[in-house]
Copies of this chain bind each other. A is one copy, B any other.
């Protein structure tokens, strides 16, 4: 904690001194999701200033939550210590409570296409997809150029990539929708079939891919399973 302590022996207060500062929980969410490099973390918490990010990483290192690897090709990476990994339940508790009690209109006021696409990339499940590479092209006609078009390149053998410039491959499936609909689906507040019926989302291209979208399109870790079923 940079500022003075709560001066309480209670473990809740001691933990809060480390964790309950601005941006810290959101940063930990990003670290727990697997980001290790400074600029990857910046992408995950885009509105946090680099100065504060740097400061928080130092604070967390001093608290024994992260460790900087200093040698070899992973020099400059930030990795969670065992104490850091055990913060998973804390971050999950925040997420579950937020999903349950924050009015969804409030969440949907803070749309961010880059954050959404990156999270989708992270949670996508390539297992039920074709063995060779699939290219899925997301189109958000409402958005301006650099945010309008995204490509997910999914290869079950080598992983998933996300591009915002055309990689030049043939597209297998086009997903045309608006950002609010896609975000609501990701959060489990809406689902693909309903959005299709309402013409808020269109799937064109490979029929099998379109049919199975519910199985490979990952949802937020906090999404309620119920909503997708509809």
Q: Are A15 and B108 in contact (CB under 8 A)?
A: no
Q: Does chain B have a CB within 8 A of A8? A: yes
Q: Does chain B have a CB within 8 A of A52? A: no
Q: Are B83 and A87 in contact (CB under 8 A)?
A: no
Q: Are A22 and B8 in contact (CB under 8 A)?
A: no
Tell which of B16, B64, B98 touches A26, judged by Cβ atoms closer than 8 Å: B16
Q: Enumerate A14-47 residues with CB–CB distance to B below 8 Å.
A: 14-16, 18-26, 29, 45, 47
Tell which of B20, B86, B115 touches A22, judged by Cβ atoms closer than 8 Å: B20
Tell which of B9, B18, B19 touches A111, judged by Cβ atoms closer than 8 Å: B9
Q: Does chain B have a CB within 8 A of A107? A: yes
Tallying the copies of this chain within the complex gives 2
Q: Does chain B have a CB within 8 A of A12? A: yes
Q: Does chain B have a CB within 8 A of A222? A: yes
Q: Does chain B have a CB within 8 A of A5? A: yes
Question: Which of A89-97, A143-151, A166-174 participates in binding chain B?
Answer: A89-97
Q: Are B115 and A10 in contact (CB under 8 A)?
A: yes
Q: Which residue of B lies closest to A99 (CB)?
A: B11
Q: Enumerate A177-191 residues with CB–CB distance to B below 8 Å.
A: 183, 187
| Size bin of chain A's contact surface | 35 or more
What is the interface of chain A, defined by CB distance below 8 A to chain B?
3, 5-16, 18-26, 29, 45, 47, 64, 83, 86-87, 89-91, 93-102, 106-108, 110-112, 115-116, 119, 183, 187, 220, 222
Extra contacts, 20 of them, besides A9-B115, A9-B183, A14-B107 (Cβ < 8 A), are A5-B110, A8-B45, A8-B110, A10-B95, A10-B98, A10-B220, A11-B99, A11-B102, A11-B187, A12-B25, A12-B26, A12-B222, A13-B26, A13-B29, A14-B98, A14-B102, A15-B102, A16-B25, A19-B20, A20-B94
